[in-house]
A and B are shown apart, each in its own frame.
Chain A
């Protein structure tokens, strides 16, 4: 079945550091790929999506590029802020059924 793997369970950075969170997927065809962010006690917020090979999604300074060759959709940000501290989820979607499969999440902590 479809699956998503996020390599980093936790990431600790200082403000203005560069962020990379790795996301790899396993699915047939061209699934839609998503990034979500979740703050404590809240529901996840949609960041952005990509649906085709080499398509780049971006929002709030975060970006990721759909790479079918490496089955990846890594999240990057050039300069993180303390307010970026949250849990980040990569997700794989079947746009026909609406089924979303989430990775285990990455806890990002940014120190001032």
Chain B
């Protein structure tokens, strides 16, 4: 069975500091991968998607970047955090654009 793991579970970071969030998918070969952001009490906003290793498309510009270094790994990062980056970050996978399955998320607080 497929599993999706996100790390870390939660982070508290200072404004201006760098950030790296990770996501791994096990049990699925060559899935489509996605990053989402959710403000507290808000809806989900898709940030990036990737259909293959090394290829990432940006959906929304939030001073973040994403990379897919391996088939089963998706990384979200920035060199300089803003207060507005606080929220819940979710990784998701799908097969060929079908329904998406979400990970447990990472709670980010920027102070």
Contacts and interface: CB of A to CB of B under 8 A. Distances in A.
A104 to B, nearest CB: 5
Contact of B44 (A46, A89, A98): A89
Interface in A53-100: 89, 93-100
Secondary structure call for the A interface? loop
Contact of A99 (B49, B96, B101, B103): B49
B64 to A, nearest CB: 17
Given A43-B105, A98-B94, A104 B46 contact: no
Contacts, number: 55
Interface residues of A, number: 23
Nearest to A91: B44
B97 A95 contact: yes
Contact of B97 (A45, A96, A104): A96
A46 to B, nearest CB: 5
Interface in B46-85: 46, 49, 51, 57, 59
Interface size on B, as a range, is 20 to 34
A36 to B, nearest CB: 8
A102 B104 contact: no
Nearest to B98: A95
B49 A42 contact: no
A93 B97 contact: yes
Given A43-B102, A43-B103, A105 B43 contact: yes
Given A98-B32, A100-B46, A45 B102 contact: yes
Interface of A: 32, 34, 41-46, 49, 89, 93-105
Interface of B: 32, 34, 42-46, 49, 51, 57, 59, 90, 92, 94, 96-105
Closest 8 A/B residue pairs (Cβ): A43-B102, A95-B97, A98-B97, A102-B44, A46-B99, A102-B43, A104-B43, A43-B105
Given A46-B99, A89-B44, 15 more contacts: A32-B98, A43-B90, A43-B102, A43-B104, A93-B99, A95-B98, A97-B49, A97-B57, A98-B97, A99-B46, A100-B34, A100-B44, A100-B46, A102-B43, A104-B43
